[in-house]
Structure 1
């Protein structure tokens, strides 16, 4: 009798988990993050120091069968410190952009607690920026692309993410420089749906 009852309980659990994985899920929320960015440069011109910026925006997640798509939209302020090879000049640059990542991922966990792995492209649209250098900085592009990946955790309606973003687009229009943003972010979010 005990074996039959235990078998029935396991069967009900497996069936309910299978049905839960096949039903589509939807979440919508807000997020904020701190970003630690640097501007890589191949060849000459400058060395970049990591500086702290921020991200504020919204995210959504649609999932089925254990996989999900998570588009996001947020305002980002990416700061870098740099020292040029022109008379040892140093300063700080701030890149402000509207960023749209589209992440693909999977979630592992039960109930309100789960861990995620995500990756995908990110598209950046420059809003404005401030660069404290005497060098010609008007040659920066207005749009760029990159790849982003990371891990995260969901605890009920709260989310925590650790991500790395690597720029694919050379930000400077000059053929002499190959400058790309690299950034680590730690973010928190809240799902209201």
Structure 2
């Protein structure tokens, strides 16, 4: 996994260094708010609610035509869910390195719709309640696949975006009898800057 991350960072850095004078390529940084949940969170407890997290990383935008672009990204993303288990408030925190590849269609000069797949690599999985933390990484799958849907608006060199990530992969390594598969569900609001 470390090799994949390092290769992705090296690729974006190399492309950035060699594409500064090309109008059909741009690179930048982005970050923002995650409003996260996990479907069928009964494996962690009952009465689940959204957990607030964040994402931060790099992106590249490659214009294929006047209206169409491909945007690969490399993001750290703090995700998870809040649950209530027998009166105990538990934060289930799932940290990922996500690599979305978005197809963007500009329906107006500065406004785009986007859609694309995402692969995520689990960095850590913990359940925290009060001062107690339990490691869940051994029972959580190390790879997560999802689909992203969103929209973006450019204001000069700045970009504003909203996106929903629909998790397709089961989070649990093994299902207990009668247990339903859980999936990530993340709504993102992002601010970016193009160099």
**Runs of 4+ in structure 1 over 6 Å off:** 133-136
Q: Please, which runs of 5 or more residues in structure 2 have no aligned partner? A: 1-21
Report the number of matched residues.
Answer: 165
Q: Which residue of the partner structure matches residue 156 of structure 2? A: 156
3-state DSSP of counterpart to 2:183: strand
3-state DSSP of counterpart to 1:109: coil
- Pair member with larger Rg: 1
| Cα pair 1:24 1:62 within 8 Å, conserved | no
Q: TM-score with structure 1 length normalisation?
A: 0.78
| Cα pair 2:30 2:59 within 8 Å, conserved | yes
Q: Which residue of the partner structure matches residue 100 of structure 1? A: 99
3-state DSSP of counterpart to 2:182: strand
3-state DSSP of counterpart to 2:174: coil
3-state DSSP of counterpart to 1:171: coil
Aligned equivalents of 1:29, 1:40: Cα separation in 2 = 32
Aligned equivalents of 2:32, 2:104: Cα separation in 1 = 19
- Give 1:68 shift: 0.7
Q: Which residue of the partner structure matches residue 124 of structure 1? A: 120
Aligned equivalents of 1:60, 1:190: Cα separation in 2 = 11
Q: Which residue of the partner structure matches residue 55 of structure 2? A: 55
Q: Residues 74 and 43 of structure 1: is their aligned pair in 2 closer, same or farther, counting only changes over 3 Å?
A: closer
Tell me the C-alpha RMSD between the 2 structures: 2.2
CA deviation map 1:96-135 (0-9, x unaligned): 110000000111334xxx0010010111001113212698
| Cα pair 1:167 1:180 within 8 Å, conserved | yes
CA deviation map 1:3-58 (0-9, x unaligned): xxxxxxxxxxxxxxxxxxxx971110000010000111187763321011000100
Aligned equivalents of 2:52, 2:92: Cα separation in 1 = 11
Aligned equivalents of 1:190, 1:90: Cα separation in 2 = 37
- Give 1:90 shift: 3.7
Q: Which residue of the partner structure matches residue 26 of structure 2? A: 27
Q: Residues 35 and 43 of structure 1: is their aligned pair in 2 closer, same or farther, counting only changes over 3 Å?
A: closer
Q: Which residue of the partner structure matches residue 11 of structure 1? A: none
